[in-house]
Amino acid sequence: SSSSSSSKNKKQASETSDAVQQRDERSGRYDEITDKWIPEKPVSVIEGASYGVVGLLGLGVAAAAVWFGANELLVTPREQKVFNAAMTKLEDDPRIRISLGAPLTGYGSESRSRSARHRIAHQIVIDGRGRERVRVQFYARGARGSATVHAEAGTNAETGELEFSYIIADVAGAHGTRIQVVSPQQQPQRLVAL
Give the span between the Cα atoms of 71 and 16, in whole angstroms: 63
**What does the angle CA 156 – CA 160 – CA 166 come to, to the nearest 5 degrees?**
40
Give the span between the Cα atoms of 18 and 123, in whole angstroms: 82
Over residues 149-178, the pLDDT tens digits come to: 999 998 887 887 888 889 999 998 767 788
Give the span between the Cα atoms of 180 and 178, in whole angstroms: 7
Phi then psi dihedrals of residue 11, to 5 deg = -65, -45
Over residues 18-48, the pLDDT tens digits come to: 555 554 445 567 767 777 766 666 567 777 7
Give the span between the Cα atoms of 89 and 164, in whole angstroms: 10
pTM over 0.85? The answer is: no
Is 101 strand, coil or helix? coil
Over residues 176-192, the pLDDT tens digits come to: 788 888 887 654 444 44
Side chain identity at 47, as an amino acid letter? E
Q: E strand or H helix at 152, and its extent?
A: strand 146-155
DSSP-assigned letter for residue 170: E
Q: E strand or H helix at 45, and its extent?
A: helix 45-74
